[in-house]
């Protein structure tokens, strides 16, 4: 994942126009075709012996493993742990980034003094300190939440600062000429402006939080999707490993969907 | 198309136009260790209800002077007064239009026009009806729900002008509002601006680079010279009102342009001499 250092995203027109009529149907047909092609190739590779069964299970087996994990309930404790770690980490990171980002936006002195340290801490690969964080915070939820939050924090921070401060002189002069108070300038100019920067960052942050949680589980844990993946890999349960990966991607998609929906609601009401 | 325009809307209580007085105004900026004299000893008198253009070469301080009247800058020495009251901050009776439309991209056209009312806390159905009327007057009837990104540069500037008029200011300050537009759009907007101005009398101070625009719009053209910025000449424009498109083809119009150009050339010649 690319952490956004200075590059910030603020494009209201980022969503491409939905293809109309026939074009939409064509896209959908093509998407289905690609899906079928992937699954077929996957199936052929796994059953023809081209790829060792120790590395790849056929799609049918993976689906069966997934069904088993759901029906016997063994999936839920793992999923619930990973979801909690990711969400707590994400919320913690976003809350902290919004507070710190706002403080920086309104105090350039503070920002200039503290920002270099945050930059250093961010260029440092936090995955490398995962064992240390586990040692500090123990083996339960806490270290994974901390890792998730650490990874998710930075993109939200930079985009919060950018969104609150990157208003043009003309915009500031307009508000001054309208005799707007500082609060009104915030309410009608800076916050709505910042939203266009913050929402794209939230999508990156959600993915990064999930990565943090999984890495934490890899290092030391008794539950979670990351833990399950490790277990299945070491015991050679290839189909189950792939099944958990599918669960992860569904969770990631769900996060993305919730964020997109929230964005639409918030933007409509700003 | 709008069936209802300001012309047949009930008369509203518009504040009487404002008068402006600038006395011995200087402005010095500090830049890169040296002082830049943007304005030097400027005296300017603008009577209530006049349409006055400020014209001059780049660096003559015309935008600086306008920002001082707007209360966005304070003079280094001297005073600027509106209706006798010294300007120390933006006054409520002004409307400002900038070179860039400066619309808020997350607000639709109607909400952009109503922004000053939101900030005043006076937005109501009547205000919104007035916004719709203004939009029709600017030739954009039916665009209320559009967002800025769906508009052309000329349309955006029309919206910005409607926004500057929504509070019924007694003084309209315009800083090269049509500078970025093509000639045809600019002329259209000049026509629309005059129409609004004739309907709602107010004092207008208009900064521009275009001689023909200044002549077409103004009662008086103030020619400024640069380094340091000062008022070089006041040229009354005696063309009859109301002014319509056809005026642009008359010899009187060309004669007025020629006169302003001669004075402007003179101002710039004086500058070059001053530089030696």
Predicted confidence at residue B256, as pLDDT, reads 96
> What length does chain A have?
270
**How far apart are alpha carbons A84 and B143 in whole angstroms?**
47
Assign A10 a pLDDT band (cuts: 50, 70, 90).
Answer: very low
DSSP A189: I
CB burial of A239-268 (b: ≥16 within 10 Å; e: otherwise) equals: bbbbbbeebbeebeeebeeebeeebeeeee
Interface residue A179 vs chain B (CB under 8 A): yes
Predicted confidence at residue B274, as pLDDT, reads 55
Taking only the tens place, the pLDDT of each residue in B39-82 is 999 999 999 999 999 999 888 899 999 999 999 999 999 999 99
Q: What is the ipTM of this complex?
A: 0.89
Neighbours of B92 (CB within 10 A): 12
- Helix, strand, coil proportions of chain B in percent (round to 5)? 40, 25, 40
Taking only the tens place, the pLDDT of each residue in A16-46 is 555 556 788 899 999 999 999 999 999 999 9
Assign B268 a pLDDT band (cuts: 50, 70, 90).
Answer: confident
Instruction: With beta carbons under 8 A apart, name residues in chain A contacting B70.
Output: 177
Provide mean pLDDT across the span B184-194.
Answer: 92
* Residue A93, SS3 per DSSP: helix
In the CATH hierarchy, which top-level class contains the domain B16-93+170-271? alpha beta
Mean pLDDT over the full length of chain B: 89
What dihedral do alpha carbons A41, A46, A52, A57 form, nearest 10°? 120
Q: In what order do the strands lie in the sheet with B203-208?
A: B94-97, B171-175, B203-208, B51-55, B220-225, B230-236
Query: Which stretches of chain B are DSSP H helices?
Result: 62-69, 109-113, 115-120, 125-137, 153-165, 183-199, 211-217, 251-275
Instruction: With beta carbons under 8 A apart, name residues in chain A contacting B119.
Output: 175, 178-180, 184, 188
- Best mutation target, B73, B82, B90, B180, to test chain A (most A CBs within 10 A): B90
Assign B10 a pLDDT band (cuts: 50, 70, 90).
Answer: very low
B64 neighbors B229 (Cβ within 8 angstroms):
yes
Interface residue B89 vs chain A (CB under 8 A): yes
Query: How many Cα atoms occupy the beta-carbon half-sphere of B129 within 13 Å?
Result: 10
| Interchain pair B96, A196: CB under 8 A | no
Nearest-Cα residue of chain B relative to residue A177: B90
Instruction: With beta carbons under 8 A apart, name residues in chain B contacting A265.
Output: none
- Of A260, A156, A176, A168, the residue nearest B104 (C-alpha): A168
Tokens of A105: 């936006």
Among the partner residues A13, A174, A267, nearest to B102 by beta-carbon distance: A174
Assign B250 a pLDDT band (cuts: 50, 70, 90).
Answer: very high
Residue A20 vs residue B162, higher pLDDT: B162
DSSP A127: G
Assign B31 a pLDDT band (cuts: 50, 70, 90).
Answer: confident
Radius of gyration of chain B (CA): 19
Predicted confidence at residue A15, as pLDDT, reads 47
Among the partner residues B100, B118, B119, nearest to A170 by beta-carbon distance: B100
Interface residue B222 vs chain A (CB under 8 A): no
Instruction: With beta carbons under 8 A apart, name residues in chain A contacting B165.
Output: none
CB burial of A3-13 (b: ≥16 within 10 Å; e: otherwise) equals: bbeeebbbeee
Nearest-Cα residue of chain A relative to residue B169: A178
CB burial of B191-202 (b: ≥16 within 10 Å; e: otherwise) equals: bbbbbbbeebeb
B168 neighbors B125 (Cβ within 8 angstroms):
no
Interface residue B153 vs chain A (CB under 8 A): no
| Interchain pair B119, A188: CB under 8 A | yes
Among the partner residues B106, B116, B120, nearest to A267 by beta-carbon distance: B106
**How far apart are alpha carbons A1 and A205 in whole angstroms?**
10
What proportion of chain B, given as a percentage, has pLDDT over 70?
A: 93
Which residues partner with B85 through β-bridges?
B82
| Interchain pair A12, B149: CB under 8 A | yes
Provide mean pLDDT across the span B131-151.
Answer: 93
**Portions of chain B given CATH number 3.40.50.300:** 16-93+170-271
Q: How far is B197 from chain A (nearest CA, A)?
A: 20
Predicted confidence at residue B8, as pLDDT, reads 44
Mean pLDDT over the full length of chain A: 88
| Interchain pair A171, B102: CB under 8 A | yes
Taking only the tens place, the pLDDT of each residue in B197-242 is 988 889 999 999 999 999 999 999 999 998 888 999 999 999 999 9
The residues in A 235-254 lying below 8 A from B, measured between CB atoms, are: none
Taking only the tens place, the pLDDT of each residue in A212-229 is 999 999 998 889 999 999
Nearest-Cα residue of chain A relative to residue B98: A170
Angstrom CA distances, A172 to A180, A195, B80, B116, B172, stand at 10, 18, 22, 14, 18
Provide mean pLDDT across the span A244-263.
Answer: 92
User: Which residue is listed with tokens 């402005």?
Assistant: B27
Instruction: With beta carbons under 8 A apart, name residues in chain B contacting A14.
Output: none
Interface residue A173 vs chain B (CB under 8 A): yes
Predicted confidence at residue B16, as pLDDT, reads 86
Assign A2 a pLDDT band (cuts: 50, 70, 90).
Answer: very low
B227 neighbors B272 (Cβ within 8 angstroms):
no
Q: How far is A181 from chain B (nearest CA, A)?
A: 8
B26 neighbors B77 (Cβ within 8 angstroms):
yes
| Interchain pair A179, B106: CB under 8 A | no
Tokens of A120: 């250093």
The residues in A 47-86 lying below 8 A from B, measured between CB atoms, are: none
| Interchain pair A184, B100: CB under 8 A | no
Among the partner residues A12, A179, A267, nearest to B92 by beta-carbon distance: A179
Instruction: With beta carbons under 8 A apart, name residues in chain B contacting A13.
Output: 149
- Best mutation target, B93, B98, B123, B168, to test chain A (most A CBs within 10 A): B98
> What length does chain B have?
276
Taking only the tens place, the pLDDT of each residue in A171-201 is 999 999 999 998 999 999 999 999 989 999 9
- Find all residues with CB under 8 Å of B12, minimum gap 6, and list them: B130, B168
| Interchain pair B105, A174: CB under 8 A | no
Predicted confidence at residue B228, as pLDDT, reads 85
Instruction: With beta carbons under 8 A apart, name residues in chain B contacting A267.
Output: 106
Tokens of B237: 């424009």
CB burial of A204-232 (b: ≥16 within 10 Å; e: otherwise) equals: bbbbbbbbbbbbbbbbbbebbbbbbbbeb
Predicted confidence at residue A16, as pLDDT, reads 52
């Amino acid at each position: 994942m690319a952490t956004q250092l200075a590059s910030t995203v603020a494009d209201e027109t980022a969503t491409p126009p939905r293809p109309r009529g026939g074009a939409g149907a064509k896209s959908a047909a093509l998407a289905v075709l690609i899906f079928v092609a992937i699954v077929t190739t996957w199936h052929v590779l796994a059953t023809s012996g081209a790829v060792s069964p120790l590395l790849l299970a056929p799609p049918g087996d993976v689906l069966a493993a997934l069904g088993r994990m759901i029906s016997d309930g063994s999936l839920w404790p793992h999923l619930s742990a990973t979801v909690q770690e990711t969400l707590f980490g994400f919320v913690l990171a976003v809350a902290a980034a919004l507070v710190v980002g706002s403080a920086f936006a309104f105090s350039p002195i503070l920002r200039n003094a503290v920002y270099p340290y945050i930059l250093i801490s961010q260029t440092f690969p936090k995955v490398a300190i995962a064992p240390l964080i586990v040692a500090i915070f123990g083996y339960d939820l806490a270290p994974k939440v901390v890792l998730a939050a650490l990874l998710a924090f930075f993109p939200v921070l930079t985009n919060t600062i950018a969104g609150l401060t990157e208003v043009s002189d003309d915009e500031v002069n307009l508000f001054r000429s309208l005799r707007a108070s500082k609060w009104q300038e915030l309410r009608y100019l800076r916050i709505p402006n910042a939203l266009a920067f913050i929402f794209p960052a939230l999508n990156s942050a959600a993915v990064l939080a999930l990565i943090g949680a999984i890495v934490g589980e890899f290092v030391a844990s008794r539950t979670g999707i990351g833990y399950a993946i490790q277990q299945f890999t070491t015991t050679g349960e290839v189909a189950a490993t792939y099944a958990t990966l599918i669960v992860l991607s569904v969770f990631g998609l769900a996060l993305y969907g919730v964020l997109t929906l929230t964005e639409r609601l918030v933007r409509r009401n700003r | 198309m709008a069936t209802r325009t300001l012309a047949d809307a009930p008369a509203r209580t518009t504040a009487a136009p404002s008068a402006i007085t600038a006395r011995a105004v200087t402005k010095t900026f500090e830049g890169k260790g040296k002082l830049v004299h943007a304005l030097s000893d400027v005296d300017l008198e603008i009577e209530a209800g006049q349409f006055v253009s400020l014209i001059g070469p780049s660096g003559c301080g015309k935008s600086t002077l306008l920002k001082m009247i707007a209360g966005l800058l304070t003079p280094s020495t001297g005073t600027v007064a509106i209706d006798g009251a010294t300007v120390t901050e933006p006054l409520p009776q002004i409307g400002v239009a900038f070179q860039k439309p400066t619309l808020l991209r997350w607000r639709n056209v109607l909400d952009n026009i109503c922004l000053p009312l939101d900030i005043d806390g006076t937005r109501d159905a009547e205000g919104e009806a007035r916004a719709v009327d203004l939009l029709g007057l600017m030739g954009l009837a039916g665009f209320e729900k559009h967002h800025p990104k769906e508009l052309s540069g000329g349309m955006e500037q029309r919206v910005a002008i409607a926004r500057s008029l929504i509070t019924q200011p007694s003084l309209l300050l315009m800083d090269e509002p049509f500078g970025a537009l093509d000639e045809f759009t600019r002329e259209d907007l000049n026509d629309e601006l005059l129409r609004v101005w004739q309907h709602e009398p107010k004092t207008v101070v208009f900064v521009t680079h275009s001689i023909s625009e200044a002549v077409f719009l103004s009662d008086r053209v103030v020619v400024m010279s640069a380094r340091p910025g000062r008022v070089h000449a006041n040229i009354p424009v005696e063309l009859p009102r109301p002014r319509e498109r056809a005026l642009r083809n008359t010899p009187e119009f060309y004669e007025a342009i020629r006169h302003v150009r001669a004075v402007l050339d003179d101002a710039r010649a004086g500058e070059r001499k001053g530089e030696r």
